[in-house]
Amino acid sequence: MSLLSKISASLLLAMAAPSLSYPTRNQSYTNPLFPGWHSDPSCAYVSEQDTFFCVTSTFIAFPGLPLYASRDLQNWKLASNTFNRPSQIPDLRITDGQQSGIYAPTLRYHEGKFYLIVSYLGPQTKGLLFTSSDPYDDAAWSDPLEFAVHGIDPDVFWDDDGTVYVTSAEDQMIKQYTLDLKTGAVGPVDYLWNGTGGVWPEGPHIYKRDGYYYLMIAEGGTELGHSETMARSRTRTGPWEPYPHNPLLSNKGTSEYFQTVGHADLFQDGNGNWWAVALSTRSGPAWKNYPMGRETVLAPAAWEKGEWPVIQPVRGQMQGPFPPPNKRLPRGEGGWIKQPDKVDFRPGSKIPAHFHYWRYPKTEDFTVSPRGHPNTLRLAASFYNLTGAADFKPDDGLSLVMRKQTDTLFTYTVDVSFDPKVADEEAGVTVFLTQQQHIDLGIVLLQTTDGLSLSFRFRVEGRGNYEGPLPEATVPVPKEWRGQTIRLEIQAVSDTEYVFAAAPARHTAQKKIIGRANSLIVSGDTGRFTGSLVGAYATSNGGAGSTPAYISRWRYEGQGQIIDFGRVVPSY
């Protein structure tokens, strides 16, 4: 995304004239930096904390706008969720689009405060500016200042005289205007640049360096033609001199495994080294199979005085001048990104900060360790299933809790204690992209000609980029399993196949495979901007049932990342 520069009154980020200096070593690393659905990254280095911070888009998932922190660019943890309470964005309750919501944030740090600016696409498009003086505390993030954004992808920039400018994308053009940080009032629009001719010039970031205003934007759409381009000017409004060797960053027209590279940001570390983050899909040029969606990648860069930045092309394995390993960070709200889930819902604990709901949850439908059921999460059955129905409204709520799929290969399991009484009551697990694209394995009470039958039901909603026959299966729960806690499992056994299985929780050797599904089903289509999540749900499927499900022993473990064709590396 944006380009960060030397600390001055004109920049949000305290970084360009680094006050810290530490030994670095050129070492190998692998992409993605943030695996799984982490699109539109924006980062800032805060010199007084010697810490890097990054944020990514979350659309209609809640909580949203995760802020990650790192001291060494290698070990990242979830510091806080910027968007963490309904008072911040009430419109999420009436936002019905599966790809609506929070688009493309920009993160900046200015005079001791974090600023996160973003566009919200709901019933109306709004500009939102969140602030915080403590990045490790959800509650420290403000309710946003609303302003009349022009289009999408706003960037915020302080000029030398202290004037605050927003730069955003609208009508195939990059526009800029002032913003009053107290009232939200915006000023007249200046038209800056529309790029080099690629479609959808967007994702602008502007900053001042060596007497130039540099403007970096994304072009080509967030598909195979995606690229990052740049222009500069001696004055804020132009004329603009394009970089002679545009694009600055792209994998378009290549056979690389990492594709759609763009929507980038530049930042400088405490030793003066420059880095770029961008979004990318691990799809190869076929751009068909990418269930994890758009992920965050990291690339070393160089930026000499008075010159243009140079960014290394994105690859699965790269080298860069990293700071020494350092995991000393404040506690924060969440854990490290690259670690397995071992969640037991102990009494007094909270639902982990990296878990997501699809829009706002009905909080009373999710109870940790309710009376009589310690070490479980009680899911009250939502009336609608994951797909909903024609009369489904965004605020009806889904009893669905998830975490991102962050590994090419993984195993996810959860124990389900569920004793349905009424036909169509169901509890299960899902690979979820949107309400129109998901793959489910449920324990469901079905009405048959012989009466009620407790069954495993494997079914698919949508087809994404998959063109074959859609899988489905209904299998009676073995009699000897009934009344027991059932362990449901989703395993990504390759980059193209999910396997869904069930077993008695106390006798897992009896595991039965119920269904298999191609990952193309949860690639593209209604979820082109997002990525797959895995989790658990409970529903009455529109019926009269109200039996809750109790889930326990939540486990997710990454078992490999594919970083190039035929090359798998460990997840952790």
* Residues assigned a catalytic role: 40, 202
CA 84 to CA 403: how far, in whole Å? 16
HSE (side-chain half, CA atoms, 13 Å) at 441 = 31
> What are the φ/ψ torsions at residue 400 (nearest 5 degrees)?
-145, 125
CA 341 to CA 355: how far, in whole Å? 10
Residues found in the chain: 572
CA 545 to CA 401: how far, in whole Å? 20
Cβ contacts of residue 522 below 8 Å, gap of 6+?
A: 291, 431, 432, 433, 437, 438, 439, 464, 532
Residue type at 257? Y
Candidates 462, 465, 446; CA nearest to 454 is 446
HEC sequence for 119-149: EEECCCEEEEEEEECCCCCHHHCCCCEEECC
Beta-carbon count within 10 A of 182 CB: 7
Q: What is the DSSP string of 410-440?
A: EEEEEEEE----STT-EEEEEEEEETTEEEE
CA 390 to CA 386: how far, in whole Å? 13
The token pair at 206 is 């502007």
CA distances from 304 to 47, 205, 207, 209 (A): 20, 19, 15, 10
Which residue(s) pair with 281 in the sheet? 259
Cβ contacts of residue 178 below 8 Å, gap of 6+?
A: 163, 164, 165, 166, 186, 187, 188
Query: Which segments of 240-365 are extended strands (E)?
Result: 241-242, 258-268, 274-282, 295-302, 310-311, 317-322, 341-343, 357-358
Q: Which helix (H) or strand (E) is 83 found in, with range?
A: strand 77-83
The token pair at 237 is 């409004």
Question: Which letter, b or e, does each residue of 185-223 get, where b requires 16 or more Cβ atoms within 10 Å of its Cβ?
Answer: ebeeeeebbbbbebebbbbbbbbbbeebbbbbbbbbebb
Residue type at 250? S
Are the CB atoms for 7 and 39 separated by under 8 Å? no
Are the CB atoms for 155 and 166 separated by under 8 Å? yes
CA 91 to CA 561: how far, in whole Å? 37
